[in-house]
Structure 1
Amino acid sequence: MSGIEANAMIEIRRTGLTGGPRVFAVANIRRGTRLAAESPLITVPPIPENDELPELCKAIDKLPDANATELANIFCPSSIIEPLRTDLRVRNTVWAHYKAKKWKDDDSGHVLSQGPSRRKLVRRTTNLCVKFLVTSVQLGPSGKYGSGVFPIHSRIGHSCEPNAHNAWNPTIQRLTLHATRDIRAGEEVCVDYTANVCRTRRQRAFVLLSSWGVNCRCAACTQPAVEKLRHRMLVIDGALAAYACGASSDPKFALKYGVPSVTTPAQALRAAEELVQLLRKQRLYGMELCRTFRECSKYALDSGIFDKALQYAQKELELERLLIGTDTEYLRGDLYGAECWIKSVRERTSHRPNAGYSYCQVGE
C-alpha cells in the first residue's frame, strides 16, 4: 500500500471467512497517538453530488494499475455493492462516459471493438465506481476538498463508541488517524461511520445497515442504560439547535416538540455543559466533544462569564490537537480552528471577575 505513513503499533488482519480485513492494535497505544497518515488511492474534486459519477469515471481512467487493483480488492458487503452494481444510474453513466470518448483505449488510442471488450471495460469501471461510493470519505467539512478512498481507512471498522478519529489534513495532503483514547494491544481500531453520536440506536442502525451493511453490536447499541444516555444527548442537541436558529423563542416550543426550551445564553451554556458530561461519561472524545467545547465557550462569552469562555476554548484546542495533530496551518488559513477561536475570545474578554455560576440540567 503506497503513500502510507502507518504507525508500527497497528496492523491489518482478516476477521473471518466472510468478513473483510480490519485494523488492530499490536501494542498499547496512548491517546492522541497518530496511527496513520495516508494519501488517497483515488480522489474526486469537490463537485455537486449529481456530477460525482461522471467525474469519478474520469478519475478511474487516470488511475494507475496498482491503485485500481487495490481499490478493486477492498472488501464491501455484498448486500451493499450488488444493488449498486445493477443500479441503472451507475451503469448508464459509465456507458455514457465511454460512448462520449468514442470507446477509445486510453493507453493505445485504439477504438475498442464492440461486444466483450466494451462490456468488460464497463464492468470494470462500474465495479470501481461502486467501491468508491461505498468506501469513500469526505475530505474536509462537507467535502470541502472533495472525497477519496484510502487504503487503511477503508479497512477500519465502525463503532458507535469509537477509539479513533480520522480527518483530512490539507497541510500535509494526508488522511490522518489518531487514537481518541488509550487502546490496548489486540483491540480493534474503530471510527464512527455516522459522524453523529447524538442519535438513537434505531436511527444509527438504519444508516449503518443501509449505507455500509453494518450491524453494530457495541454497548451503545445493546445496553439500555447507554441508549438512555444517547437519547438524552439527542434531546439536548435538539434544544441547542432550536436555540441557535431562534425556534425556541416560541412560547409553546417545548409543548409542541417535546424538547426543553432554551431561550437564554445561560440556559444554552448549562445544556452544552450537560452534553459535555454525557460525552465524557461514554468516553466519546471525538469531534462532537470538540464542537461542544466551542459551544460552551460561545455561550459563556454571551453570558459574560469570560474566564469560563477562555477555559473551554483552551479545552477545545487541547482536544483538537489530540484528534488531528499540530500540523494544521490550514486551520489558521480558514480561520475556524481552536487557535483562532482562542484569539477571538481573548480579544473580546476583559478578564473581569465573573458572577456566581452553578450547574443544572436543561429543563430544571
Structure 2
Amino acid sequence: MNGRKPQAMAEFRQIGSAGDEAAFATTNIRRGTRIIAEAPLVMVPPVSDDEELSEFLKIVNTLPEATVAEMVKIFCQPSVANGIKDNTYVQREVWGFHKARRWKDNDGNILQGKKLQKAVKKSLNLCAIYLTNNVQLGPAGKYGEGVFSLYSRVRHSCVPNAHNSWNPTIGRLTIHAIHDIKAGDQIYVDYTGNVCRTRQQRAFSLSATWGITCDCTACTKSQTDQLRYRMVVLDQALAAYTCGASKDLNFEANHGIPKIMTAREALKAAEELARLLRRQNLHGMELCKVYRECSQYALDGCNRAKALDYARKELELERTLLGMDTGHLKEGLYGAKYWFEHLQKKM
C-alpha cells in the first residue's frame, strides 16, 4: 500500500522495506479508547492443527477476489515467508488441496503447466500470509483463527501502548489504548501474548515467527531484563502452586523456583508480580490476570475485603482493555464484571 490510509484515530504509513507499514495516532488518544474494531478478512473455525491449513485453503478459495487481493497486500518478512513456502508440510497441503479439486479452478477449467504452477504459487503465498498474520480468536483459539487487514499493520513492542482482543460479542477484533497516546505517536501491541519471558525468549519467538528484531526499552536495557526474569520466576512459582506441583518435598531444589505452600504466600507473590508489571508500564491483560489471582488468593485466605478490592482493580483495567461489550466473558466468571458481582454477593 502506498501513501497513507486514514482511519478515525489511526493512519498507516509505509516504513522500512517495501510493503511494511506501521500505525500512527492521528489525534490524542485517551487511555481506554477503542482505536479500531475490525472484522476479519478470513476466519477459520476451531479445528485441529492438522486440519487448519487445509481448512484455510478451502475458505480463502470461496472469498471474493477483492478480499483475497486485500489479503495479498499484507506484509510478511521475506525470510519468514520463504521458509514457510519451502516447508514440506505446507507444500503437501497446497498440492493436496489442488488435487482434491481435480486440478481445476473455480470455473471448472483444468489447471496444468504454467497455470497450475501459478495457482500453487498463489496458494503458497496465501498460506505464508495466513501463518505469519493469523490471530487466535479468544483464549487458545476458542473461536478459531482470523487474519485482519488493519491489525496486521500494527507493529510489535514488548512494552505496548495498545491491547488487541477478539470480541465475539460484537464479532470484531478490537484495539484499545493502554495508555494515553499523543498524536503522531506510533501504536504498538504485543505479538507474543506473554510478558513473563526473558529478553532471549522473546527474541527467539519474534525472530522465528515474524522475522522481527525488537528494539523497545525492554529489549535494550539490561536492568529491565532483570525485572522480567523475576516475573518469570514468580509466574512459574504461582503456576506450580495452582497445579499442586509445589507440594513435592524437593520442589525448590529440583526446579530452582520458590516454593509456595499457602494462599497467603501466593497472594504475596502475586502482589509482587503486579508491582513489577506496573513498574514497567505493562498494564495489559497479564495485569488483569494477576489482579484476578490476587483476588482469588485473598478470598482463599478469608480476606474478602482485599479480594473485592483486587476484583475492582481488575474490572477497571478490563474496561480499559476491552470496553463494555463483555457478554462473552460471563461463562465461568471469566470476565471481571461477573467475578466482581460474584464477590459482592459473598460480602
TM norm structure 2: 0.96
Distance 1:132 1:282 in 2: 32
2:58 corresponding residue in structure 1: 58
2:201 is the counterpart of 1:203: yes
Aligned pairs for 1:114-125 (under 5 A) are 114-125=112-123
Distance 1:307 1:250 in 2: 32
Shift of 1:130: 1.0
1:353 corresponding residue in structure 2: none
Q: Tell me the amino acid that sits aligned with residue 78 of structure 2.
A: S
CA displacement 1:198-229 (0-9 Å, x = unmatched): 01000100000000001011111110111111
Shift of 1:129: 1.2
Alignment check: 8 A CA contact 2:19 2:73 kept: no
2:346 corresponding residue in structure 1: 348
2:59 is the counterpart of 1:68: no
Identify which range, 328-337 or 159-168, moves more after superposition: 328-337
Shift of 1:84: 0.7
2:146 is the counterpart of 1:148: yes
Distance 2:111 2:204 in 1: 44
Distance 1:243 1:232 in 2: 17
2:30 is the counterpart of 1:30: yes
Cα gap change, 1:311 to 1:213, in 2 (>3 Å): same
1:358 corresponding residue in structure 2: none
Aligned pairs for 1:165-204 (under 5 A) are 165-204=163-202
Distance 2:329 2:231 in 1: 28
1:44 corresponding residue in structure 2: 44
Equivalenced residue count is 343
Specify which of 253, 269, 272 is matched with residue 271 of structure 1.
269
Distance 1:256 1:92 in 2: 43
CA displacement 1:96-139 (0-9 Å, x = unmatched): 11211112322x2x232421111111111111111011001001
Alignment check: 8 A CA contact 1:265 1:302 kept: yes
Q: What SS is found at the alignment partner of 1:292?
A: helix
1:103 corresponding residue in structure 2: 103
Alignment check: 8 A CA contact 1:60 1:125 kept: no
Distance 1:334 1:67 in 2: 36
Shift of 1:95: 1.3
Q: Tell me the amino acid that sits aligned with residue 133 of structure 1.
A: L
Specify which of 221, 225, 228 is matched with residue 223 of structure 1.
221
Alignment check: 8 A CA contact 1:161 1:284 kept: yes
2:321 corresponding residue in structure 1: 323
Specify which of 336, 341, 349 is matched with residue 334 of structure 2.
336
CA displacement 1:154-185 (0-9 Å, x = unmatched): 01111000111101111111000001111122
Alignment check: 8 A CA contact 1:164 1:178 kept: yes
Q: Tell me the amino acid that sits aligned with residue 178 of structure 1.
A: H
Q: Tell me the amino acid that sits aligned with residue 131 of structure 2.
A: L
Cα gap change, 1:292 to 1:70, in 2 (>3 Å): same
Shift of 1:262: 0.7
Q: What is the identity percentage for the equivalent residue pairs of Structure 1 and Structure 2?
A: 51
Q: What SS is found at the alignment partner of 1:55?
A: helix
Identify which range, 302-311 or 255-264, moves more after superposition: 255-264
How much is the aligned-residue C-alpha RMSD, in angstroms? 1.5
TM norm structure 1: 0.91
Distance 1:114 1:28 in 2: 55
Shift of 1:335: 3.7
Identify which range, 85-94 or 284-293, moves more after superposition: 85-94
Shift of 1:334: 5.7
Distance 1:160 1:76 in 2: 20
1:91 corresponding residue in structure 2: 91
Unaligned runs of 5+ in 2: none
